[in-house]
């Protein structure tokens, strides 16, 4: 596994707007500058001074007579913030094991709270998009659901009012996890989630919740454990349990309490993408 860079490396590598732009150009256009609109190669760089007196780094395409910035079409677009702050924000958000609050981001980046919140929101959206490209999980997978947020009063467990249902799937050998906030825990919702993340033929361990019964006649092998009786049972000498995914819940809930304090249902899906394994 590639080791994570230190904050010192990040700050020294991306100390100026120019160094960030050079990096960004390399990852956006690895084969040389291309027009974002017509993909043409007759692109030149323009140095201009913006309304605020800062340098604006622009590109001009001679093929389609179009002028654009390096950030057009990205999460940084239309932002007055320097890329140096964006890059550091991304680093901080990706390296914090239990996530990072907007308040902490505000402190570390020396911005207003509103700005920090906006950056965090955009970065989470980008991470979410990334998830769609991930490979499906395989082998033994544990699936479980929980309810997060809302008031403490009222019924516990499945169907609890005010709470957001969240479903997770964990690949046992690698520890990889995918989580998603869902509207409810009906069989069809869980079916969509499992089909999206699990390789056909995978062995899926769940508890005996009725919304998993369809798995018995599906492309997956289903092994259920009755939590009223035991937490681990053995089938063909191999353990059937959902302990791995349940450990994720406790870590996640502590993260919510410790870092995000309160999470509104509206934004919960955006907090569910970091790798908690
Ligand atoms: Zn063009």
pLDDT tens across 153-183, in order?
545 455 556 677 889 899 998 887 888 878 8
Q: What is the sign of the dihedral through the CA atoms of 125, 91, 75 and 117? A: positive
User: What local confidence, expressed as pLDDT, does residue 275 receive?
Assistant: 40
pLDDT digit string, tens, across residues 119-163: 998 887 777 665 555 678 999 999 999 887 665 454 545 555 667
Å from CA of 27 to ligand 1 middle: 19
Interval between CA 58 and ligand 1 midpoint (Å): 13
**CA of 65 relative to ligand 1 center, distance in Å:** 6
Q: What is the pLDDT of residue 276?
A: 37
For the chain, give the percent of residues with pLDDT over 70: 81
Q: Which two tokens stand for residue 268?
A: 């919960």
State the Cα–Cα distance between residues 96 and 260, nearest whole angstrom. Answer: 13
d(C-alpha 55, C-alpha 13), whole Å: 20
- Angle between helix axes 102-109 and 113-131 (nearest 10 degrees) is 120
Distance 23 CA to ligand 1 centre (A): 22
Mean pLDDT over each residue of the chain, to the nearest integer? 82
Exposed, middle or buried by CB within 10 Å (0-12, 13-18, 19+), for 200? Answer: exposed
Q: How far does residue 34's CA lie from ligand 1's centre (Å)?
A: 8
- Tell me the CA–centroid distance for residue 182 and ligand 1, in Å: 41
Residue 253 β-bridge partners: none
**Ligand 1 mean position, distance from CA 61 (Å):** 5
CA of 194 to the centre of ligand 1 (A): 42
Taking phi over 0 as left and psi of -120 to 50 as alpha, with beta for the rest, 262 belongs to beta
């Amino acid at each position: 596994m590639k080791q994570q860079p230190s904050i010192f490396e990040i700050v020294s590598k991306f100390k100026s707007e120019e160094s960030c732009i050079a990096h960004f150009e390399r990852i956006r256009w690895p084969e040389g500058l291309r027009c974002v609109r017509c993909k043409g190669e007759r692109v030149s760089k323009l140095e201009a001074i913006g309304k605020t007196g800062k340098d604006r780094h622009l590109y001009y395409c001679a093929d389609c007579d179009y002028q654009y910035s390096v950030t057009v079409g990205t999460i940084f677009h239309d932002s007055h913030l320097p890329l140096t702050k964006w890059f550091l924000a991304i680093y901080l958000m990706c390296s914090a094991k239990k996530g990072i609050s907007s308040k902490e981001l505000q402190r570390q980046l020396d911005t207003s709270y509103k700005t920090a919140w906006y950056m965090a929101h955009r970065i989470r959206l980008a991470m979410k998009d990334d998830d769609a490209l991930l490979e499906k999980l395989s082998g033994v997978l544990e699936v479980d659901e929980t309810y997060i947020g809302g008031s403490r009063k009222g019924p516990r467990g499945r169907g609890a009012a005010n709470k957001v249902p969240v479903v997770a799937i964990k690949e046992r050998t690698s520890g990889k996890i995918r989580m998603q906030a869902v509207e409810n825990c009906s069989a069809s919702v869980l079916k969509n989630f499992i089909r999206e993340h699990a390789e056909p033929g995978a062995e899926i361990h769940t508890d005996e919740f009725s919304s998993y019964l369809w798995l018995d006649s599906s492309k997956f092998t289903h092994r259920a454990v009755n939590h009223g009786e035991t937490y681990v049972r053995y089938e063909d000498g191999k353990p059937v349990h959902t302990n791995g995914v349940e450990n994720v819940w406790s870590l996640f809930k502590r993260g919510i309490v410790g870092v995000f304090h309160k999470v509104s249902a509206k934004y919960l899906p955006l907090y569910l993408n970091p790798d908690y394994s």
